[in-house]
């Protein structure tokens, strides 16, 4: 990464300009510049419709001088200067947005509305939880906290008739009836082993490779957050999408369906991972964050839906010898069309090495 030295210093305001009254009306300007390989750099710069304009114009970095001259002709331009990737020449965006210059001009609000600012380009990694981050099924693992004879013989039938969330609520009811406490459950979850290399993968994506990381899982938020906290990964995860889970006043774990959907036949009633992923990407776009590459890491049949929604720059990372890998490898023989690259993995290091390879937009 480089940083153009001309963009490192904020514009200097002369003593006369700085002493202007609060009634001095100023309007900032957006300058969008491209310096290949450089990171975005905000540059405070603005101009006044009154007598201070000449003082401010002289201090604008050299690449911006042309825009500063335009300010005197068309002063009603908008907000902050951004050194952005992806544009090959300076451009001006017009939008009326006057601000008031205080005696300390750098306290003036100089940020443009998001609609007129350059989008922030990032990457996105979406992870499943069970058998992807933890090397087991967290839901069924807690069933070992009581003797199997404690579970009614017809409990398994509930899974098929009412769905996984209803089945797990029945499991948690049995645990509570047998004096299994929150510390018992939380302790077991925190001790679950992670998949080999997965912690390093998440840390590296977040810290060094410009990835936002989210989790979409059919487990529950209590289990996922407890494990992340124990393993020092909470700060690396931007968002957890899962069935809400919390202990009530009586000490019983209660969970709810994330949503109730019937539009996606590839997904369960309570969780369409593909729709959740697309909704997240859409909301991030409204905030000015655009993902140039989306990576999905999973293992199960309910990970197939989001993988099918990945674009040509996406990567489907399917755990070897699990159902998702079988579905992806068999996709050419079905009506499903897969656009993304495919990475079949056994550990987190293999995913990291695959993602470290150069890719083109």
What structural domains and CATH numbers belong to the chain?
A: 5-111 (no CATH), 123-355 (3.40.50.1000)
Q: According to the model, what pLDDT value does residue 24 have?
A: 42
**In the block, which residue shows the tokens 């968002």?**
239
Q: According to the model, what pLDDT value does residue 88 have?
A: 29
What is the DSSP pairing of strand 239-243 with strand 341-345?
Answer: unpaired
Q: DSSP code of 314?
A: -
Name the residues annotated as catalytic: 128, 130
- What is this structure's pTM? 0.69
CA distances from 14 to 52, 70, 116, 349, 358 (A): 9, 21, 29, 55, 47
Q: According to the model, what pLDDT value does residue 117 have?
A: 56
3-state percent helix, strand, coil for the chain, nearest multiple of 5: 40, 20, 40
What is the number of other CB atoms lying within 10 angstroms of the CB of residue 58? 12
Instruction: Please give the helix or strand (H or E) that residue 27 lies within, else none.
Output: strand 25-28
Q: According to the model, what pLDDT value does residue 161 have?
A: 80
Q: According to the model, what pLDDT value does residue 119 have?
A: 87
- Measured distance CA(342)–CA(255) in Å, rounded: 34
CA distances from 121 to 85, 86, 292 (A): 8, 9, 6
Q: C-alpha angle 288/292/296, rounded to 5°?
A: 110
Q: According to the model, what pLDDT value does residue 329 have?
A: 94
The Cα diameter of the chain in Å comes to 86
* Residues of the chain where predicted confidence (pLDDT) is lower than 50: 1-116
């Amino acid at each position: 990464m480089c940083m153009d030295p001309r963009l490192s210093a904020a514009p200097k305001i002369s003593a006369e300009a700085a002493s202007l009254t609060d009634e001095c009306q100023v309007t900032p300007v957006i300058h969008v510049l491209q310096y290949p390989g450089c990171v975005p750099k905000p540059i405070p710069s603005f101009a006044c419709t009154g007598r201070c304009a000449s003082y401010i114009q002289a201090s604008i970095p050299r690449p911006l001088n042309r825009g500063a001259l335009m300010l005197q002709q068309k002063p009603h331009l908008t907000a902050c200067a951004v050194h952005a990737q992806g544009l090959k020449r300076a451009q001006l965006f017009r939008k009326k947005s006057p601000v008031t210059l205080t005696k300390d001009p750098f306290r003036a609000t100089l940020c443009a509305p998001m609609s007129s600012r350059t989008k922030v380009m990032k990457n996105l990694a979406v992870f499943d939880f069970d058998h992807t981050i933890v090397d087991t099924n967290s839901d069924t693992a807690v069933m070992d906290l009581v003797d199997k004879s404690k579970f009614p013989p017809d409990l398994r039938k509930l899974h098929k008739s009412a769905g996984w969330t209803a089945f797990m609520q029945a499991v948690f009811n049995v645990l509570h009836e047998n004096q299994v406490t929150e510390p018992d459950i939380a302790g077991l979850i925190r001790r679950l082993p992670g998949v080999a290399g997965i912690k390093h993968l998440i840390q590296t994506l977040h810290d060094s490779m410009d990835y936002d990381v989210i989790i979409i899982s059919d487990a529950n938020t209590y289990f996922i957050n407890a494990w992340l906290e124990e393993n020092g990964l909470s700060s690396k995860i931007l968002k957890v999408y899962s069935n809400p889970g919390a202990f009530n006043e009586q000490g019983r774990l209660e969970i709810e369906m994330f949503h109730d959907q019937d539009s996606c036949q590839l997904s369960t009633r309570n969780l369409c991972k593909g729709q959740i992923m697309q909704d997240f990407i859409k909301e991030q776009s409204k905030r000015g964050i655009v993902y140039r590459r989306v990576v999905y890491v999973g293992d199960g049949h309910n990970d197939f839906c989001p993988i099918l929604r990945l674009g040509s720059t996406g990567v489907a990372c399917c755990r070897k010898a699990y159902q998702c890998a079988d579905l992806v490898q068999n996709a050419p023989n079905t009506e499903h069309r897969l656009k993304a690259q495919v990475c079949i993995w056994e550990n987190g290091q293999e995913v990291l090495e695959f993602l470290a390879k150069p890719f083109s937009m």
